[in-house]
Amino acid sequence: MTSASIETCLVEKNGLILEVTFNRPERGNSLTPVEHEFLDLVWTEFEGDESLRVAILGAAGDRIFCSGNDFRYASEHGSFAIPPTGLAGLTSRFDREKPIIAAVNGAAAGGGFEIAMACDLVVAAGHATFSLPEVKAGTYAGAGGLIRLPRQVGDKIAMEMILTGRKIPAERACALGLVNRVVDGASLMREARQLAAEIVGNSPLACAVSKRIVNETRDIPALRDAQRVSDRLGAQLIGSREFRQGVSAFLEKRRPDWTGEEK
Which residues form the catalytic set?
114, 134
CA distance 125 to 116: 13
Neighbouring-strand partners of residue 101 = 56, 121
Q: Residues near 19 by Cβ (< 8 Å), separated by ≥ 6? A: 10, 11, 12, 13, 55, 56, 58
Other beta carbons within 10 angstroms of residue 54's beta carbon come to 27
The helix (H) or strand (E) run that includes residue 157 is helix 155-164
Say if CB 30 and CB 66 are below 8 A apart.
yes
Backbone angles phi, psi at 44, to 5 degrees: -65, -45
Other beta carbons within 10 angstroms of residue 71's beta carbon come to 14
Q: How far is CA 226 from the centre of its chain?
A: 23
CA distances from 131 to 92, 155, 157, 176, 213 (A): 19, 15, 12, 13, 29
Neighbouring-strand partners of residue 109 = 131
Nearest alpha carbon to residue 97 among 213, 194, 227, 202: 213
Nearest alpha carbon to residue 129 among 176, 162, 166: 166
